[in-house]
Amino acid sequence: LDISDLKRKSLLNYKPYTYGEQPDPNEKWIKLNTNENAYQPPQIVLDEIKAAVNEKLRLYPDPTCLELRKLLLSKYFVQYNEMIKLDNLIVANGSDEVIDILFKAFIDSGDIVVFFNPSYGMYPVVADLYGAKSQIIELTDRFEIPEGIDQVKGKMMIICSPNNPSGMSVPNSIIESICKKFPGLVVVDEAYEDFSSTTAISLISKYKNLAVMRTFSKGFCLASERIGILVANSQIVQFMMDVKLPYNVSYLSQVSANASLKHIEIFKEMHKEIIAERAKVTNGMRKLKLEVLPSDANFILVKLPSAEIAMKFFTECKVNKILIRQYNKKELLPYLRISIGKPEENVILLKVFQETAKKVMK
């Protein structure tokens, strides 16, 4: 018996997801490569989580995340209370599991799933795992969705907005035109929406094939606790509830998200600060004659004159204990993606960029 023979035949050409580099936590790095929130959760949130570390740990967590969904309605989606109810919400073990559950509920082997390039790397990975046919649509040179998108057919389309890695939002006019014509589910992944002024949420009541994803990993400083949310028509949510693993979100993860929502006003201030820092870093880069895409996220995408120069900036940052993201995909070689850090981190970053620019740009 050869164990390799037991592996799924349909996975013979499968390529696993590649993580962003995680440095040794005992070394002091400025970590701007995986778009985590620069700030730790507020002390009051940490205190409330600590207070919940008690005898309940022995019990199974709530399979429906009821308290969290109630808080989402009363604190996070307040302005949409007319259209979003409890049965329009499902919670999962991070956005990654939301995507997994979407495939489990809606994608049979051979179904066509549409997404864009470049975008979040998990979409094609999950598509392969569920035997879907990936139809990948190339974004324009300006990272925009190309003309004619409303002619595309498929069972599901995933739109990341603000997109990773460009940081640019997709206008609701484009999402509307897709929802009207697309014969399947239209999923808008709004992982970075807390740093943006655009959202497709208001379209949910108008288009029953629309689903919107959110996460606590970026806006709520909770990447560790894996909280992903999906908002959609109650029928979509019910199908997903039926197929998800029963106890998919741990008790302390639910507690962490609940505590965060109770103090959402602190996070709103934090988002304003991050947006202000994003403007500072963007301006600093532009002063160096670097092109920066207009970002709606907690990161920016910077275009260097060449792949070679991009690599020099990346290396120079690493020498200075700053980790940023570079890419191996051909079309992204001259680009660097940089998460927005704390003010003092951003100052150091800009200084390293300044000095490197002097050295390597004519």
Peptide bond into 183 cis (omega under 30): no
Give least dist CB 299 to a second copy, A. Answer: 14
Give least dist CB 288 to a second copy, A. Answer: 29
DSSP 64: T
What is the enclosing helix (H) or strand (E) of 174?
Answer: helix 172-181
What is the enclosing helix (H) or strand (E) of 307?
Answer: helix 307-319
Task: Name which of 126 and 293 has its Cβ closer to a second copy.
Answer: 126
Report the C-alpha gap between 317 and 353 in whole angstroms.
8
Task: Name which of 274 and 290 has its Cβ closer to a second copy.
Answer: 274
Give least dist CB 208 to a second copy, A. Answer: 6
Task: Name which of 106 and 143 has its Cβ closer to a second copy.
Answer: 106
Task: Name which of 277 and 334 has its Cβ closer to a second copy.
Answer: 277
Give least dist CB 6 to a second copy, A. Answer: 5
Task: Name which of 146 and 183 has its Cβ closer to a second copy.
Answer: 183
Reading the block at residue 213, the tokens are 């994803």
Peptide bond into 118 cis (omega under 30): yes
Task: Name which of 227 and 336 has its Cβ closer to a second copy.
Answer: 227
Reading the block at residue 291, the tokens are 């092109």
Report the C-alpha gap between 349 and 73 in whole angstroms.
38
Q: Could you give the C-alpha distances from 222 to 183, 246, 258, 287, in angstroms and in order?
A: 35, 22, 11, 33
Give least dist CB 310 to a second copy, A. Answer: 24
Give least dist CB 42 to a second copy, A. Answer: 11
DSSP 133: E
| Secondary structure (3-state) at 311 | helix
- Closest-CA residue to 229 (of 98, 96, 37, 35): 98
Task: Name which of 85 and 208 has its Cβ closer to a second copy.
Answer: 208
Task: Name which of 16 and 148 has its Cβ closer to a second copy.
Answer: 16
Give least dist CB 238 to a second copy, A. Answer: 9
Report the C-alpha gap between 92 and 211 in whole angstroms.
14
Task: Name which of 157 and 290 has its Cβ closer to a second copy.
Answer: 157
Report the C-alpha gap between 174 and 179 in whole angstroms.
9
What is the enclosing helix (H) or strand (E) of 214?
Answer: strand 210-215
Report the C-alpha gap between 296 and 162 in whole angstroms.
6
Task: Name which of 40 and 328 has its Cβ closer to a second copy.
Answer: 40
Give least dist CB 155 to a second copy, A. Answer: 7
Give least dist CB 222 to a second copy, A. Answer: 6
CB 305, CB 361: distance < 8 Å: yes
* Amino acid occupying residue 135: Q
Phi-psi region of 162 (alpha: psi -120 to 50; beta: other; left: phi over 0): beta
Give least dist CB 52 to a second copy, A. Answer: 9
**Burial zone of 196 (CB within 10 Å; 0-12 exposed, 13-18 middle, 19+ buried):** buried
